[in-house]
Amino acid sequence: MNQSEFLQKVMPFKDKVFRLAKRLLVSTEEAEDATQELYFKLWKNKSKLNDYNSIEAFAMTMTKNYCFDRLKSKQASNLSLVHSNYKDGGTSLQKRVELNDSVSLVHKLIENLPEQQKIIIQLRDIEQYEFDEIAEMLNMQPTAIRVSLSRARKTIKEQLIRQHNYGIS
Protein backbone atom coordinates (compact mmCIF):
# COMPACT_ATOMS: atom_id res chain seq x y z
CA MET A 1 0.00 0.00 0.00
CA ASN A 2 1.51 3.32 -1.04
CA GLN A 3 1.11 6.63 0.75
CA SER A 4 -1.78 7.81 -1.44
CA GLU A 5 -3.79 4.60 -0.86
CA PHE A 6 -3.06 4.77 2.85
CA LEU A 7 -4.28 8.36 3.09
CA GLN A 8 -7.45 7.54 1.15
CA LYS A 9 -8.26 4.81 3.64
CA VAL A 10 -7.47 6.59 6.90
CA MET A 11 -8.06 10.30 6.38
CA PRO A 12 -11.88 10.20 6.18
CA PHE A 13 -12.13 9.38 9.91
CA LYS A 14 -9.23 11.42 11.32
CA ASP A 15 -11.58 13.96 12.91
CA LYS A 16 -13.49 11.19 14.67
CA VAL A 17 -10.23 9.79 16.03
CA PHE A 18 -9.29 13.23 17.32
CA ARG A 19 -12.71 13.84 18.91
CA LEU A 20 -12.64 10.48 20.71
CA ALA A 21 -9.12 11.19 21.95
CA LYS A 22 -10.20 14.66 23.09
CA ARG A 23 -13.25 13.24 24.90
CA LEU A 24 -11.06 10.78 26.78
CA LEU A 25 -7.98 12.94 27.35
CA VAL A 26 -9.80 16.32 27.43
CA SER A 27 -6.66 18.28 26.51
CA THR A 28 -6.39 19.36 22.89
CA GLU A 29 -2.63 18.89 22.95
CA GLU A 30 -2.92 15.38 24.37
CA ALA A 31 -5.57 14.53 21.78
CA GLU A 32 -3.37 15.84 18.96
CA ASP A 33 -0.47 13.73 20.24
CA ALA A 34 -2.71 10.67 20.48
CA THR A 35 -4.02 11.20 16.93
CA GLN A 36 -0.50 11.61 15.59
CA GLU A 37 0.67 8.50 17.43
CA LEU A 38 -2.28 6.49 16.09
CA TYR A 39 -1.57 7.49 12.50
CA PHE A 40 2.10 6.66 12.97
CA LYS A 41 1.15 3.18 14.21
CA LEU A 42 -1.29 2.71 11.33
CA TRP A 43 1.42 3.74 8.85
CA LYS A 44 3.91 1.30 10.38
CA ASN A 45 1.34 -1.50 10.04
CA LYS A 46 -0.17 -0.41 6.72
CA SER A 47 0.50 -3.79 5.13
CA LYS A 48 -1.87 -5.43 7.65
CA LEU A 49 -4.73 -2.91 7.34
CA ASN A 50 -6.49 -4.84 4.59
CA ASP A 51 -6.90 -7.74 7.04
CA TYR A 52 -9.50 -5.75 9.01
CA ASN A 53 -13.20 -5.58 8.13
CA SER A 54 -13.30 -1.93 9.14
CA ILE A 55 -10.11 0.09 9.33
CA GLU A 56 -12.12 2.86 10.99
CA ALA A 57 -13.35 0.56 13.78
CA PHE A 58 -9.81 -0.73 14.24
CA ALA A 59 -8.46 2.83 14.45
CA MET A 60 -11.12 3.86 16.97
CA THR A 61 -10.30 0.82 19.12
CA MET A 62 -6.60 1.68 18.93
CA THR A 63 -7.40 5.27 19.91
CA LYS A 64 -9.46 4.17 22.91
CA ASN A 65 -6.71 1.81 24.09
CA TYR A 66 -3.96 4.39 23.58
CA CYS A 67 -5.92 7.02 25.52
CA PHE A 68 -6.59 4.63 28.39
CA ASP A 69 -2.88 3.82 28.51
CA ARG A 70 -2.06 7.54 28.64
CA LEU A 71 -4.57 8.13 31.42
CA LYS A 72 -3.29 5.16 33.40
CA SER A 73 0.29 6.38 33.13
CA LYS A 74 -0.75 9.60 34.88
CA GLN A 75 1.07 11.65 32.24
CA ALA A 76 -2.20 13.39 31.52
CA SER A 77 -3.00 14.38 35.10
CA ASN A 78 -3.11 18.12 34.40
CA LEU A 79 -5.87 18.06 31.78
CA SER A 80 -8.71 20.55 31.80
CA LEU A 81 -12.06 20.78 30.05
CA VAL A 82 -12.33 23.43 27.36
CA HIS A 83 -15.54 23.84 25.42
CA SER A 84 -15.15 25.00 21.83
CA ASN A 85 -18.05 23.47 19.90
CA TYR A 86 -20.71 26.10 20.58
CA LYS A 87 -21.43 28.33 17.58
CA ASP A 88 -23.02 31.76 18.00
CA GLY A 89 -26.43 31.89 16.40
CA GLY A 90 -27.13 35.59 16.95
CA THR A 91 -28.64 35.02 20.39
CA SER A 92 -28.60 37.49 23.25
CA LEU A 93 -25.63 37.58 25.61
CA GLN A 94 -27.70 36.20 28.49
CA LYS A 95 -28.98 33.31 26.34
CA ARG A 96 -25.44 32.55 25.13
CA VAL A 97 -24.17 32.46 28.70
CA GLU A 98 -27.01 30.12 29.67
CA LEU A 99 -26.33 27.87 26.67
CA ASN A 100 -22.61 27.81 27.41
CA ASP A 101 -23.34 26.95 31.03
CA SER A 102 -25.69 24.13 29.96
CA VAL A 103 -23.21 22.75 27.42
CA SER A 104 -20.41 22.93 29.98
CA LEU A 105 -22.59 21.17 32.52
CA VAL A 106 -23.37 18.35 30.05
CA HIS A 107 -19.64 18.01 29.27
CA LYS A 108 -18.92 17.85 33.00
CA LEU A 109 -21.62 15.25 33.54
CA ILE A 110 -20.27 13.14 30.66
CA GLU A 111 -16.77 13.37 32.11
CA ASN A 112 -18.10 12.00 35.42
CA LEU A 113 -19.65 8.92 33.81
CA PRO A 114 -17.89 5.56 34.04
CA GLU A 115 -15.32 5.20 31.24
CA GLN A 116 -17.38 2.71 29.24
CA GLN A 117 -20.49 4.91 29.29
CA LYS A 118 -18.40 7.96 28.40
CA ILE A 119 -16.99 6.21 25.32
CA ILE A 120 -20.38 4.89 24.25
CA ILE A 121 -21.97 8.37 24.53
CA GLN A 122 -19.10 9.80 22.46
CA LEU A 123 -19.29 7.13 19.77
CA ARG A 124 -23.08 6.99 19.48
CA ASP A 125 -24.41 10.47 20.24
CA ILE A 126 -21.51 12.58 19.02
CA GLU A 127 -19.80 10.50 16.33
CA GLN A 128 -23.08 8.86 15.21
CA TYR A 129 -21.73 5.31 14.92
CA GLU A 130 -24.23 2.47 14.63
CA PHE A 131 -24.62 0.05 17.54
CA ASP A 132 -22.98 -2.79 15.58
CA GLU A 133 -19.95 -0.61 14.83
CA ILE A 134 -19.60 0.40 18.47
CA ALA A 135 -19.98 -3.23 19.53
CA GLU A 136 -17.11 -4.19 17.22
CA MET A 137 -14.91 -1.34 18.52
CA LEU A 138 -15.55 -2.14 22.17
CA ASN A 139 -15.83 -5.91 21.82
CA MET A 140 -19.30 -5.89 23.36
CA GLN A 141 -22.75 -7.11 22.37
CA PRO A 142 -25.02 -4.49 20.73
CA THR A 143 -27.62 -5.06 23.47
CA ALA A 144 -25.01 -4.28 26.12
CA ILE A 145 -24.16 -1.08 24.21
CA ARG A 146 -27.85 -0.07 24.21
CA VAL A 147 -28.21 -0.75 27.94
CA SER A 148 -25.06 1.18 28.79
CA LEU A 149 -26.10 4.11 26.57
CA SER A 150 -29.54 4.16 28.15
CA ARG A 151 -28.05 4.22 31.65
CA ALA A 152 -25.63 6.99 30.70
CA ARG A 153 -28.40 9.13 29.19
CA LYS A 154 -30.62 8.50 32.21
CA THR A 155 -27.84 9.54 34.59
CA ILE A 156 -27.19 12.74 32.64
CA LYS A 157 -30.92 13.52 32.43
CA GLU A 158 -31.43 13.01 36.17
CA GLN A 159 -28.45 15.17 37.03
CA LEU A 160 -29.58 17.92 34.64
CA ILE A 161 -33.08 17.89 36.13
CA ARG A 162 -31.61 18.03 39.63
CA GLN A 163 -29.34 20.92 38.63
CA HIS A 164 -32.08 22.94 36.93
CA ASN A 165 -34.64 22.31 39.67
CA TYR A 166 -32.40 23.14 42.57
CA GLY A 167 -29.54 25.14 41.11
CA ILE A 168 -27.08 23.09 43.13
CA SER A 169 -23.97 21.53 41.60
Domains, the chain: 10-72 (1.10.1740.10), 93-166 (1.10.10.10)
Question: What's the pTM value of the predicted model, to 2 decimals?
Answer: 0.57
Residue pair 67/20 in contact by the 8 Å Cβ criterion: yes
Segment 8-44, tens digit of pLDDT? 888 888 899 999 998 888 888 888 999 999 989 888 8
List phi, psi (to 5°) of 27: -70, 135
Q: What is the mean pLDDT of the chain?
A: 81
Residue pair 123/137 in contact by the 8 Å Cβ criterion: yes
- The rounded distance, in Å, linking the Cα atoms of 117 and 112 is 10
Residue pair 38/66 in contact by the 8 Å Cβ criterion: yes
Segment 111-154, tens digit of pLDDT? 899 999 999 998 888 888 889 989 988 999 999 999 999 999 99
Per-residue pLDDT at 169 exceeds 60: no
Which residues, in sequence order, are CB contacts of 153 under 8 Å at separation 6+?
121
Q: Nearest to residue 47, comparing CAs of 1, 99, 101? A: 1
- The rounded distance, in Å, linking the Cα atoms of 168 and 37 is 41
